[in-house]
Each structure stands twice: as C-alpha cells, then as structure tokens.
C-alpha cells in the first residue's frame, strides 16, 4: 500500500473503464439502423455505375444488370437492418451498472488479496537468473562468520566444566582416539563452542573413520551454525560430499533444502523437504523446522500441500506408555498401528513404514494381517533389492517369513 503512484494509476484506469462502460450503457442505440452503412455503400456503387455509363465504360445492358443486382442488395440490407436496435430500460441500466461495479470491485479485491501491489514484473526466467546469480556470488563462510559474530557459549556447572577439562586434556594426549574425538565434538557443540567442535571434527576427519558421510553432514551443520544459520558455499560443499556418501542423510537433506530456500528456489526446497518429511520419524531433529516452513515453501512453489500426520510414537508417547497398564499400552499400540495402516493404504509411504507396520503387527500377535501386509509390500517394491531385504527382515522378526 506504500506505492501511491501505482494505486493512483490503477485507480485512474479502473475509473476510466467504469466511465466508458457507463457511457455506452446510457447511449441511445435506436436511431441508426444496423444496415445503414451497407445501404450507403451500395448507393455509392449505383452512382459509380451511372458515371461509368456516362463515360462509355459500360454498355446499357450490362449497366442495367449491375443496377438490378445492387438494388437487390440495398433492399436486403434495409430489410436486415430494421428492428435490431435495443433500448435498455432504466431498471436494466441499474442492474447492469451494479454488475459493472461488482466486477470492478472484485478485480481490485482479488488483486489486493492475491497480487503483489507495488512489485515490478517478475518473470520466471528473471527469477531463475537472479537465484543462479545469488548462488554464484553469495558470501563466503569467513565473511558470514564475521557478520554473525561470536556464538553465545553456555557456562556449564562446576561438575560438567571439570569433565570437559578432563575430556579436552585426554583428547590432546591421545589425538588419534576416535571415540574421544566424537564425544568432544558432541559436547563442545552442545555448549556452543562451535569453533572448538569444528577443530575437533577436522581432526576426526583426518583419521578417516568409518562414518565419513555423517561427518561431512556434521561439518556442514557446524559451519551453518557458525554463520548464523546461513548456508555458505563451503557448507554446500560439505553437504554435497555427505549426500554422495549417504544419499538419505537427514541432516544433509534438511540443510540442502534450507540452502535452496535462502537462494529463492522454493520449488527445490519444497521437493527436498517433502520427501524427507514423509519418511522421517516424529522425533528426528529436522522434522519440527521442516513442519514450520514447508507450508510457506509449498505456497511459494505454487503447490497445494498438506503435511502428513506424524508416523510412529514420539519420545513423550513412549515415556507415557511406560506408566500405562498392559491393557492401555496395548490399546495405544493398536491405535498407532491402525493409523499407520490407514496412511499406507491411502497415501503409501517408504519401505521403513511398511517394515514398522509388519513388525508391530507381529508384536500384537496379528500374524495374518502382518503376512498380508508383507505380501502386498513384495508387490509394491518388486525389483527393488534393498527395499525387499528390509521387508523380509521385518517379516522374519514378525514370524511370517523364514
């Protein structure tokens, strides 16, 4: 609403359209026959025939034939032009005026609701070019860290501070201790000592441990936190490395979606987050931030989307189940199994959900339904070796396969 120039121009055009429609509405249109123009044309042709006869260009017989044909056309045009004028009654004019006002008001209301007043034209090609330019020229990790400032560091209590001192000393004495480095990274990051955690992670990656995909994703997360939530080119490189080694890494997928969102590629962010959300457990750390942002990404991508209900019990539900009676606990599990079964039947889902359902049915003693779900899963995932192996392992655990 701040761009008054735009609204003045839009208002002026709206009033001009309304005025032109009203003028036409109140004009009298019963004075000029519809065929009068044709009649004038044919009369001009008769005059032309007379001039051609006078100049000797037409003979008498040919001139009479032309006069007869033109006269016939004049009579036909005059016949068609009679009685076609329509006079609008005062009541009709009021009704049509109200329709015109409603259409114009609806157009303004619709633009205010759905449009972007004050924005210049943003064609798709231009937006894609701007997004690509931002991706290529965005700030480095060093610049982002300088702009973000030093992260806040939590002050541990005396007992934890003593343990951290001992842990740091132990890792310094045994720099090749993989378990010690992992523990140090986790605790330094939890306290907000992100630079110390990054240094320890670099040291761990040099040792080439057995989990490089997770380490690249962890490094990307530390870089992003150091940059105040911004995904730098250096963090992107770590994400790419993580996904090459572990394509299903949830941390790397979440931050990849965040990178696309920051680069004005809501379409890519949405597709990455949608796939991740629909195969994640409710307590996965990326689920809450995705749920908080995916509706906006879907709207910006032009997609109608409703996030699925969480699949499986949360940590709070598991804790509550520990205090339940056996009957109540069984009823809760049955309710969750029914919900998961209905979701897979209507919307489908990843093989992990199928395996979880088969295992849960086995726990409930419903081997017949577990076997039915297993058979259906074999058909659904035909030719997909990894998924079939997961299904078979669940079926064996449920006692419906050997």
pLDDT, position 231: 94
pTM of the entire structure? 0.55
User: What is d(CA 325, CA 362) in angstroms, rounded to the nearest whole number?
Assistant: 20
Non-local CB neighbours of 315 within 8 Å, separated by 6+ positions: 283
* SS3 of residue 340 by DSSP: helix
Nearest CA to 231 out of 265, 264, 255 is that of 255
Question: Which pLDDT value is given to residue 319?
Answer: 56
- Rounded Cα gap, residues 140 and 55, in angstroms: 91
**Which pLDDT score is estimated for 362?**
78
- State the CATH class of domain 137-264: mainly alpha
Does residue 209 contact residue 176 with C-beta atoms inside 8 Å? no
d(CA 367, CA 374): 10
Give the Cα separation of 230 and 241 in Å (integer): 18
How much is the pLDDT for 288? 84
Contact in structure between 29 and 87 (CB atoms under 8 Å): yes
- CA distances 117 to 7, 10, 16, 108, Å, are 8, 10, 20, 11
Residue 115 has a CB neighbour count (10 Å cut-off) of 10
pLDDT in tens, the chain (402 residues): 456 777 777 778 878 877 777 776 666 554 445 455 666 777 787 788 788 777 777 677 777 877 788 888 777 776 665 544 555 567 767 777 788 788 878 877 877 776 666 666 666 677 778 878 888 889 999 999 999 888 888 887 888 888 889 989 998 999 888 888 988 998 888 888 899 999 999 999 998 777 889 999 999 999 999 999 999 999 999 999 999 999 989 999 999 999 999 998 999 999 999 999 888 877 788 888 898 889 889 888 888 888 776 555 555 555 555 566 666 666 766 777 777 777 777 767 777 778 878 877 877 778 888 888 888 888 887 777 767 777 887 788 778 876
- The residue extents of the domains of the chain are 4-114, 137-264, 266-307, 315-398
Confidence at residue 32, expressed as pLDDT on a 0 to 100 scale? 46
Whether 214 and 242 have beta carbons less than 8 Å apart is answered as yes
Could you tell me where the beta strands, DSSP code E, fall in 41-198? none
Q: Which two tokens stand for residue 275?
A: 């796939």
* DSSP per-residue string spanning 109-141: HHHHHHS-TTPPP--HHHHHHHHHHHHHHPPPH
Task: For residue 281, count CB atoms less than 10 angstroms from its CB and return exposed for 0-12, middle for 13-18, buried for 19 or more.
Answer: middle
CB 297 within 8 A of CB 261: yes
CA-CA distance, 229 to 266, in Å (whole number)? 17
């Amino acid at each position: 609403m701040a761009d008054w120039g735009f609204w003045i121009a839009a208002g002026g055009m709206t009033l001009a359209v309304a005025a032109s429609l009203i003028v036409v509405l109140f004009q009298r249109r019963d004075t000029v026959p519809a065929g009068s123009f044709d009649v004038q044309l044919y009369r001009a042709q008769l005059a032309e025939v007379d001039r051609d006869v006078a100049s000797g260009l037409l003979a008498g017989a040919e001139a009479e034939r032309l006069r007869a044909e033109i006269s016939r056309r004049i009579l036909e045009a005059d016949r068609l032009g009679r009685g076609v004028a329509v006079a609008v009654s005062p009541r009709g004019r009021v009704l049509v005026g109200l329709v015109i006002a409603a259409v114009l008001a609806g157009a303004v209301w619709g633009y205010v609701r759905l449009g972007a007043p004050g924005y210049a034209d943003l064609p798709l090609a231009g937006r894609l070019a701007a997004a690509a330019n931002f991706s290529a020229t965005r700030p480095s990790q060093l610049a982002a860290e300088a702009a973000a400032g030093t992260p806040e560091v939590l002050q541990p209590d005396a007992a934890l501070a003593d343990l951290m001192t001992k842990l740091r000393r132990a890792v310094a004495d045994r720099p090749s201790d993989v378990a010690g480095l992992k523990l140090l990274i986790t605790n330094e990051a939890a306290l907000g000592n992100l630079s110390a955690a990054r240094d320890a992670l670099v040291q761990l990656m040099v040792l080439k441990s057995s989990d490089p995909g997770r380490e690249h994703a962890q490094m990307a997360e530390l870089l992003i936190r150091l940059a105040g939530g911004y995904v730098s080119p250096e963090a992107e490189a770590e994400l790419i490395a993580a996904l090459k080694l572990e394509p299903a890494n949830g941390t790397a997928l979440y931050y990849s979606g965040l990178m696309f969102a920051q680069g004005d590629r809501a379409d890519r962010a949405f597709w990455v987050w949608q796939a991740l959300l629909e195969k994640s457990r409710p307590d996965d750390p990326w689920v809450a931030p995705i749920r908080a942002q995916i509706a906006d990404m879907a709207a910006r991508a032009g997609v109608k989307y409703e996030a699925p209900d969480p699949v499986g019990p949360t940590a709070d539900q598991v804790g509550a189940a520990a205090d339940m009676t056996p009957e109540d606990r069984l009823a809760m599990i049955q309710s969750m199994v029914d919900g998961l079964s209905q979701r897979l039947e209507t919307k489908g889902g990843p093989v992990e959900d199928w395996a979880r359902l088969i295992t849960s049915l086995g726990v409930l003693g419903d081997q017949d339904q577990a076997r039915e779900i297993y058979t259906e899963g074999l058909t659904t995932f035909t030719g997909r070796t990894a998924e079939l192996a997961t299904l078979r392992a669940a079926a064996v655990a449920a006692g419906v396969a050997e």
